[in-house]
Structure 1
């Protein structure tokens, strides 16, 4: 009895785009500043947070 098992390729689910969801606690004042920057730049909070974190990672210095 030759039986065949067919397995189809997995279709990427929504959100499987290389990004992961994280949760961050943020002071209300910081959120207000972020929202103001979002309005001025016409960018989403998410986009701004990613841009700002990426820039900060390039300039951070760890003191020993």
Structure 2
């Protein structure tokens, strides 16, 4: 008699936390400034970029 081991499939985790991964090109100087701010605030680059973008999106105005 052959034994079987059955394993249930895990649900897909990609994107289930409400976040998407994006790639952004930025000037080296901007990255250096971000790293300095990261060191001063003990926050990751990712956390800072999200905080800064959230603030900027709230105050941006589009001119026609």
Runs of 4+ in 1 over 6 A off after TM superposition: none
Could you tell me the TM-score, scaled by structure 2's length? Answer: 0.78
Cα distance in 2 between the residues matched to 1:20 and 1:14: 8
Cα distance in 2 between the residues matched to 1:43 and 1:49: 10
Gaps (5+ residues) in structure 1?
1-7
Residue in 1 aligned with 2:48? 48
Change (3 A) 1:14 1:63: closer
Could you tell me the TM-score, scaled by structure 1's length? Answer: 0.78
Residue in 2 aligned with 1:5? none
Cα distance in 2 between the residues matched to 1:15 and 1:39: 28
**CA-atom RMSD, angstroms?**
2.0
State the aligned residue count: 57
Residue in 1 aligned with 2:35? 35
Residue in 2 aligned with 1:23? 23
